[in-house]
Amino acid sequence: MGIFSRFSDIVNSNINALLDKAEDPEKMVRLIIQEMEDTLVEVRSTSAKTIAEKKELQRVVNRLEEEVADWQAKAELALSKNRDDLARSALVEKQKAADQATAVTADIANLDAHVSKLQDEVAQLQEKLADAKARQKSMLMRQKTVASRLEVKKSLDSNRLNDAMYKFERYEQKIDTLEAQVESYDLGKKTLRDEFAELAAQDKIDSELAALKAKLNNDNNA
């Protein structure tokens, strides 16, 4: 048994409510669309058969109306020949044909009403089908969006970020170590400026030492 047991179930259905209750909304909307499309084919087929039946009945009415006219002509002919008995018989047949034409015309009117109802049903069903397909399209777009977001989330996983930060810190530590090694390697080495400064200081000390010796010599000679 399908989702919709009768056409009215489809027309009166609340697609949103059906999808909200479904365990698998994507599967449910596919089934709904399939059910609607199958029903639409069935309704159109019934409509086509009804229209064909109406055309056949219309041909019957046309034939009966021709019979009515024919019996009317025969009755008039019989009266013109003073054959009241034949005229009466012709009028009886005319009445039968007219009654049949009236009955078939009533059947055609009923078929017209049925065809009109079927056309309304087709329009309502097409509207519901368009709504269901729009919901399906929306669900597919949401699914793709969620899948894309999930991929981004996975690529930005906290563990992977922590691992990347740890590696980055390791690289920084290695650079700090290398810089420290370079600084320690240069430690103790005299620059050219340092050597000249030492020379100047040495000259000053030598001058002071010479002056001190000269003073001592002068004191001794005195």
Question: Looking at beta carbons, which pairs linking 35-38 to residues 24 or more positions away fall under 8 Å?
Answer: 35/2, 35/3, 35/4, 35/10, 36/4, 36/10, 36/125, 36/128, 36/129, 36/132, 37/129, 38/2
pTM, to two decimals: 0.51
Identify whether residues 55 and 149 lie together within a single domain: yes
Supply 103's token pair.
């009955």
Q: Which domain-ending residue is among 116, 131, 156?
A: 156
Identify whether residues 168 and 130 lie together within a single domain: no
Identify whether residues 149 and 167 lie together within a single domain: no
Q: Is residue 37 part of a domain?
A: yes
Identify whether residues 124 and 36 lie together within a single domain: yes
Residue with tokens 């000390």: 205
Identify whether residues 121 and 179 lie together within a single domain: no
Cα–Cα dist 179/6, whole Å: 83
Q: Is residue 135 part of a domain?
A: yes
* Structural domain boundaries, residue 204: 162-221
Identify whether residues 13 and 112 lie together within a single domain: yes
Per residue of the chain (222 residues), what is the pLDDT tens digit? 343 445 555 555 656 566 666 666 677 778 878 888 888 888 888 888 989 999 999 999 999 999 999 999 999 999 999 999 999 999 999 999 999 999 999 999 999 988 888 888 888 888 888 887 887 787 778 777 777 777 766 666 556 656 666 676 776 777 777 666 655 655 555 666 767 777 777 877 778 777 777 777 777 666
